[in-house]
Amino acid sequence: MAPGGFIHPSNMKSASVVHSGRQLFALQKKFVKSAISPAQWPSTMVPEVAFSGRSNVGKSSLINALVNQKQFARVSKTPGRTQTVNFFDVGSKMHLVDLPGYGFAKAPKPLAENWAESVEVYLRRRAKAQILKNLYVLIDSRRGILEIDLQWFSMLQQEQVPFTIVYTKSDRVGKPALDGCRQQGLEQLNMIHGGLEPLPDDAVLVCSAKDGTGLTELKDSIHRHVMMGTPMTQKRQERLQQTADLLGVDADDPLVTDGFK
């Protein structure tokens, strides 16, 4: 069982799966919208994968590297500049979601707390509705997993949000340090779900937005989660949407999802 109680995609790799992330990310990509409240989230049932991490961990840079567009997601040297939930479309097949960073942010404390609450609401509701297929939690390779990250993992486990650990900025550390990062990530994930089942190949990834290390593996991981991981049946999707239409709310509204546990 994966972190949060979700089943990970199979470790088996077929010819149709290996490197299919490249084809996915070759599709047209565009910005969809920024949202500060659930009412502003996209109302479609397009699968989503999201990115979170401490402020200044390199989320926007990694997204830009994935789509091979330097200014696709806004990059800032000031920690905490991502203040909204930002949605990007990839070939109408999925949405990439850039979430505000947790931890240090140059903003008044009440505002930073509002950001944190909005992110938790997004994760809780989208995961329950099975729109969110996976969350990629980014960790700075130079810093490793800190106490604030452990608190984040705990929240994700409690809310049953499936997630993968991604160490960023791998170009700035040596191989021994990267090996230590991988081991640290695997140990944390084994502790989270009790080590009862083997972890999938993509449970812990190492990437660099600067030199491209690990981007192919990350793309393949995203493809597996979007196309194969925790799938909703078409019938269930239709029932969710029909119920939402009757109630006049979005398909991920608790009024709908609470009835489809």
For the cut 90, the answer to whether the pLDDT of residue 142 exceeds it is yes
Q: What does the alpha-carbon distance between residue 81 and residue 259 come to, in Å, rounded to a whole number?
A: 37
pTM: 0.79
Q: How confident is the model at residue 10 (pLDDT cuts 50, 70, 90)?
A: very low
Helix (DSSP H) and strand (DSSP E) numbers for the chain: 8, 7
Q: How confident is the model at residue 138 (pLDDT cuts 50, 70, 90)?
A: very high
Question: To which residue do tokens 């402020």 refer?
Answer: 55
Of 252 and 204, more confident = 204
- What's the pLDDT at 111? 54
Name which of 12-21, 114-123, 222-231, 236-245 the model is least confident about.
12-21
Side-chain-side CA neighbours of residue 207 (13 Å):
29
For the cut 50, the answer to whether the pLDDT of residue 230 exceeds it is no
Average pLDDT over residues 54-77: 83
For the cut 70, the answer to whether the pLDDT of residue 109 exceeds it is no
- What's the pLDDT at 243? 80
Q: How confident is the model at residue 65 (pLDDT cuts 50, 70, 90)?
A: very high
- What's the pLDDT at 248? 80
- List, for residues 150-173, the tens digit of each pLDDT value: 999 999 999 999 999 999 999 999
**Number of residues written out for the chain:** 261
DSSP letter (8 states) at residue 78:
S
- Best mean pLDDT range from 4-13, 136-145, 188-197, 246-255: 136-145
The vertex-130 CA angle with 223 and 9, nearest 5°, equals: 40
